[in-house]
Amino acid sequence: MPQRPIIALDFPNKEEIISFLNHFPSEESLYVKVGMELFYQEGPEIVTWLKSLGHDVFLDLKLHDIPNTVESAMRGLAKLGVSMTNVHAAGGINMMEGALRGLKEGSVDGNRPLLIAVTQLTSTSEEAMQHEQGLMMTLEDSVIHYAKMSQIAGLDGVVCSALEANTIKKHTSTDFICLTPGIRPLGAAVGDQQRVVTPGGARDLSANFIVVGRPITRANNPYQAYQEIKKEWNGEV
């Protein structure tokens, strides 16, 4: 079964999602990401609706708050039946453990979503991390540190750049999930991303999932862009 790139549905409303999805054959089941832009405008119903169309959903709300608040929020979000969701590892081990507890308690059929933690955002460079977060270490060391914390908290994996996936697996375990945004086919506009990798590069670097937004959503032919990225990700070109 070929692996599906996760499409970041970074649109402001349902109407724009409908016209975007019209580019795809209706019978094709996609793995989509609902992030802050869409969720804050359309609410939880957008997730239920996407699932009713046969799509899998990664709910990317990057929770980061005190443990009790995150646990309670996750208990509610678990009811949406998404495949995967996330928190910021910077929230700490207690917060991540709370998130996991909330998800387990809230899941309707005992089938909880995968839970992963953002290490350093792919839009962060080492220089910005050092100056703005005051962390006097390499970006890779910070990412490894957050990955180990996430593993201690019992999470399924992390969000990172594919550049760090191999090292993370060495320091955690080979089955620890590395979900990697910041994916750019050769020649694509990089935009605000810093640590970018091609779909084929992510595969070679042992990423488990790739998340792709603008290279698909802003393409003249989104379905063609999706298929090309999917082929490269699956090593078919």
CA–CA gap between residue 147 and residue 193 (Å, rounded): 20
Contact 63, 90 (CB under 8 A): no
SS3 52: helix
Minimum Å gap between C-beta 123 and ligand OMP is 6
Nearest residue to ligand OMP on Cβ basis: 213
Residue 34 binding ligand OMP, by CB under 6 A: no
Catalytic annotation on 175?
no
Q: Tell me how far apart the terminal alpha carbons of the chain are, to the nearest angstrom.
A: 16
Give the position of tokens 């086919």: 185
Residue of the chain from 85, 142, 193, 194 that contacts ligand OMP (CB under 6 A):
193
Query: Shortest CA distance to 113 belongs to which of 88, 91, 87?
Result: 87
Total residues at interface with ligand OMP (CB under 6 A): 18
Residue 86 binding ligand OMP, by CB under 6 A: yes
Comparison of 73 and 105: residue with beta carbon closer to ligand OMP: 73
Residues from 46 through 65 that contact ligand OMP (CB under 6 A): 60, 62
Q: Per the residue annotation, which of 62, 104, 148, 231 is the catalytic one?
A: 62
Question: Hey, what are 50's tokens?
Answer: 């996407």
Query: Pattern 120-159, binding to ligand OMP, x per CB under 6 A?
Result: -xx------------------------------------x
| Residue 165 main-chain phi, psi, to 5 deg | -60, -45
CA–CA gap between residue 95 and residue 103 (Å, rounded): 12
Query: Max Cα separation, the chain?
Result: 50
The answer to whether 175 is a known ligand-binding residue is no
The answer to whether 68 is a known ligand-binding residue is yes
Q: Per the residue annotation, which of 60, 156, 169, 230 is the catalytic one?
A: 60
Residues from 201 through 230 that contact ligand OMP (CB under 6 A): 211-214
Minimum Å gap between C-beta 120 and ligand OMP is 7
Catalytic annotation on 169?
no
The answer to whether 172 is a known ligand-binding residue is no
Residue 148's CB: how many other CB atoms inside 10 A?
Answer: 16
CA–CA gap between residue 49 and residue 103 (Å, rounded): 21
- Residues 6 or more apart in contact with residue 131 via CB below 8 angstroms: none
Q: Which residues does the annotation mark as catalytic?
A: 60, 62, 65
* Positions that interact with ligand OMP (CB under 6 A): 8, 10, 35, 60, 62, 86, 118, 121-122, 159, 181-182, 191, 193, 211-214
